[in-house]
Amino acid sequence: MLKFENVTKEYGAGTRAVNQLSLTIEKGEFICIIGPSGCGKTTSMKMINRLIEPTSGAIYVNGENIMEQDAVKLRRTIGYVIQQIGLFPHMTIQENIVLVPKLLGWSEEEKKQRAAELLHLVDMDESYLDRFPNELSGGQQQRIGVLRALAADPPLILMDEPFGALDPITRDVLQEEFKHLQQSLGKTIVFVTHDMDEAIKLADRIVIMRDGELVQVDTPEKILREPVDEFVEEFIGKDRLLQARPNVQTIAQIMSHTPVTIYDTNAIREAATRMKERRVDSLLVIDEANLLKGYIDIEMIDKTRNQATRVSEIVETDFYSVREDALLRDTVQKLLKRGLKYAPVVDEKKRLTGIVTRASLVDMVYDSIWGSEDSEAEQRESVKEG
């Protein structure tokens, strides 16, 4: 899909921003390029769509040398998302999304249909088509920036720290949305970031650079387990959970499969009875198809006493859930940041499959850090007693 062959970029007086870069990226891969400031990561990415021209070497997209193509036409076949989003304030959301299709000569009907289709991918509907960027939140604007890059259905998308300016919670949500979107659409992504947590969460492979050169290219798991040198070890951080407990990586491996639930069609009285029987103060609400609808707790029941009869009337639909394939250490951080006691676990169709509690995560972290020492201490005591 994408290949760098001994690519170098020099800026006057022999200063090399990128030095002899060779890298092959397969179709459908999500690649994160990371490294300290000035390492050449953004320069490397911008050479792909010729926003920066390489000094020497060759870059191939689908087997074609980019330097033998018209630069403008090349850019129209590659999606591009930046941190500043770059939406045009005088254009509607639809006009912003279909900017490239317009340049490619799509009909009005094709453009409107494509814009509406893309909005649904990020849980936004047609009511947004005629709005303007200043009517959207920062997270919504960034979603539109991503959709604009997808509009002409390019096989390759370049992303330059696209979520860096967002607040932590919005950033978490968009990272998850985009990773799932990429997996479902099969796009090839080159993603520049300075955040190692983001790279671990998103990437199929991570490219670590220093002083314009590649240091290590591997899967997140291998980089965390087998850093090639002290620079990589220091850069990723020695305290990362996956490195301490490499055999446990995803939520699916530790979640409980028996969350306490109630159907949205049940009576509130039944919910109160179930809470009492199961000795819990909240229930996850599902429908007949096991889709997660939200939750109710004892306080909600108390506040709406004599005002509602069915669970569906009081269910709280604004809640945090986690996918089965979510990274364990990522979920730990989120639960701690948000002060949550638990998180329901769902599959790709948002069906409830389990629950992960803060207590279970704490136990696992304890075992990761202290388990081996406790085990050794027990063995020593056993030897003494023997």
Cβ neighbours, 10 Å, residue 46: 17
Which structure tokens are listed for 187?
């796009």
CA distance 19 to 86: 30
pLDDT band of residue 349 (cuts 50, 70, 90) is: confident
| Mean pLDDT confidence for 218-226 | 86
Residue 35 has pLDDT above 80, yes or no: yes
Which structure tokens are listed for 381?
């005591």
CA distance 269 to 314: 12
Percent of the chain residues topping a pLDDT of 90: 38
348 by DSSP, 3-state: which? coil
CA distance 281 to 115: 43
pLDDT per residue as tens digits for the range 87-133: 899 999 999 999 888 888 899 999 999 999 888 888 888 899 999 99
Radius of gyration of the chain (CA): 25
Q: What are the Cα distances from residue 109, in Å, to 95, 102, 112, 125, 311?
A: 12, 11, 5, 17, 42
Residue 384 has pLDDT above 80, yes or no: no
Residue 332 has pLDDT above 50, yes or no: yes
| Mean pLDDT confidence for 210-228 | 89
Which structure tokens are listed for 226?
């087998």
Residue 197 has pLDDT above 50, yes or no: yes
Check: CB of residue 243 under 8 Å from CB of residue 224: yes
Residue 34 has pLDDT above 90, yes or no: yes
What is the pLDDT at residue 239? 59
CA distance 373 to 381: 12
CA distance 264 to 35: 48
What is the pLDDT at residue 180? 82
| Mean pLDDT confidence for 347-360 | 85
What is the pLDDT at residue 364? 64
pLDDT per residue as tens digits for the range 142-183: 888 888 888 888 889 999 988 877 777 778 878 888 888 888
Residue 366 has pLDDT above 90, yes or no: no
| Mean pLDDT confidence for 353-372 | 68
Residue 237 has pLDDT above 80, yes or no: no
